[in-house]
Structure formats: C-alpha cells, structure tokens
Amino acid sequence: MNLQDLHLLVDDLAYPECPRWHEGKLWFSDMLGRRVYAVEVNSDSTEGVCSTEVEWQADVAGLGWDNDGQLMVVSAPENTVLKLQDGKLQPFADLSALSQGECNDMIVKNGVAYVGHFNGKLSPQEVQPSGLIKIDTEGNVSIALEGVMFPNGMVFSADGKRLIFAESFGRCLSQVDVAEDGSLSNKRPFADLGTAVPDGICIDAEGAVWVTDPLGKRVIRVLEGGEVTDSIDMQTMGAFACELGGSDGKTLFICAADGFGKIALNGPDTGKIYACNVNVPAQGC
C-alpha cells in the first residue's frame, strides 16, 4: 500500500500527533498549532468534520482521559499535564522535577497516566537515556521506568498487564510488566526494528503493533519478535503517529507532515491525517 491508496481526512495542520479513538471520534493534538481537535468521521472513514476542542499557550502532545472522562493533555515544553475542568485546561501534574527534557506522549488507563520525556536534542548522538513518569489519580508523580532511549508511543496489551512502547533512538519496541499498583518492571524487547526510528504506535486485536517510521517515510505492522507483516509507503510524507478506530475498528489513521517537529515552523502548514482500511481491527473490537 502507498500514499495514493489512502484517504485524506484532515488537511492544513501544523504538526498532528498523538491520535486517540475515543467515544466514536478521532482526537489528536496539533502540537505546533497548540490545539486539540476531534474529528467526526463518516461510516467508511473517508470524510470527517474537524472541530477545535481546546487551545493552549504552548505545544501540546499526549492525550488521555481520567476516570471521570475529563480530557488530559501534555503541555510538552512546560513539562506539565493539564486537565480539562469547567471548560478550561488547568494544570494537574507538574513533571518538571522528574523530566530531563520535554515531555511527549502519554497513555492513561484506570486514571493512571504514563508520560515519556527525552533527555537532549532530537539527535541519536545527543540524546541520553530517560524514561517514563507515572501520574496517579491524585496528580502525584513518580519515576516509573528509567533507561529508555527516547520513549515515544505507548500501548497496553489486551489484559492490561504489559505496556509496550517505542524507543525511538533504540530503534525498537520494548515492553514492561504492569503491576496492580501501576508500577513497571521487567523491561525486555518486543521487537527489534532494524533501521526504523519508531514514533507513534497503536495495537490491534491480534496483538500486532502498527509503527510509524518518520525517517523511513512508512508505517509498518510488526509482530512480537520483529516480523513485519504489512507496510505502507508514505513516499514524500513523514508519518509520526497512528491510531486504529472507525465504526468497525478497521480504519488506520495516520498523522503525517512534510517537516519534522519544529522544522515545520519554517514553512507552510503541511500536516495531514490520512485514513485507510486494514484487515485486523483495533484491540477490543
């Protein structure tokens, strides 16, 4: 499959990231546009109506929802997780004492959030190991995992007992065990990705992980152990994040842009979200 086989769902974005399928809509952060959007998608995921949900004063990244259904948003340069309360984003958890650089993606389950952060510049030669920060339901923060080479996209296994995450400059997917108290342990490989630099990921009902590879300009489906079963050639576009959703869970949404990160600020808005049909639905469908 290649770019010509995909449906263009949303256009004219600065830098779309961190998509989530939530309550029948596709939510995502336009990181450099400093907004969170939700897209009402038609039945075959070929068209969508995009609406602004919230705006913020700084770049926004990872998204999630607490046990009360309140939206949570990572403010990347402020190293803060925000929560939507009374129609406004309010600071919920300050990660600055534990983060070694900008915060990035986030995943939330049962009200507990995990946030990645990177230590250094966006270069394999300059990034040092960092890790994941845990935020409990009251907003208390702690270091959940160390020794990660630029943590990025994260997903849970179907039983919630494993957390799988991308190590961008480790060129791999790793996994850890999740205890009942939310602590993480036993870090080990999920898949060696060779030359790929993984960014955002999502997981399907067979436990395979879709991985965006922005430098390789592709999206791949990977089994535990590293076998690649499917590949989407994005040609001129960098793919930065992906999510499974749609009416039957078989739509793969891909966040893409011509530029990489803040480089995108130097030119016109090239961010787009594409959609395509896949054979295996999202986990839980």
Identity at 202, one-letter amino acid code:
C
Which pLDDT does position 93 carry in this prediction?
Answer: 98
Which pLDDT does position 119 carry in this prediction?
Answer: 77
Four-residue CA torsion sign, 17, 101, 84, 107: positive
Which residue numbers in the chain have pLDDT < 70?
A: 120-125, 259-268
Closest CA to 254 of 40, 19, 52: 19
Which pLDDT does position 34 carry in this prediction?
Answer: 96
Q: What are 169-198's pLDDT values in tens digits?
A: 999 999 999 999 999 999 999 999 999 999
Identity at 282, one-letter amino acid code:
A
Structure tokens at 216: 């390789």
Tell me the whole-structure pTM to 2 decimals: 0.95
Which pLDDT does position 285 carry in this prediction?
Answer: 76
Q: What domains sit in the chain, N to C, each tagged with a CATH number?
A: 3-277 (2.120.10.30)
Q: How far apart are CA 209 and CA 192, in angstroms?
A: 12
Which pLDDT does position 118 carry in this prediction?
Answer: 84
Which pLDDT does position 4 carry in this prediction?
Answer: 87
Q: How far apart are CA 82 and CA 57, in angstroms?
A: 12
DSSP string, 147-174: EESSEEEEEE-TTSSEEEEEEGGGTEEE
Q: How far apart are CA 41 and CA 48, in angstroms?
A: 4
Which pLDDT does position 160 carry in this prediction?
Answer: 96
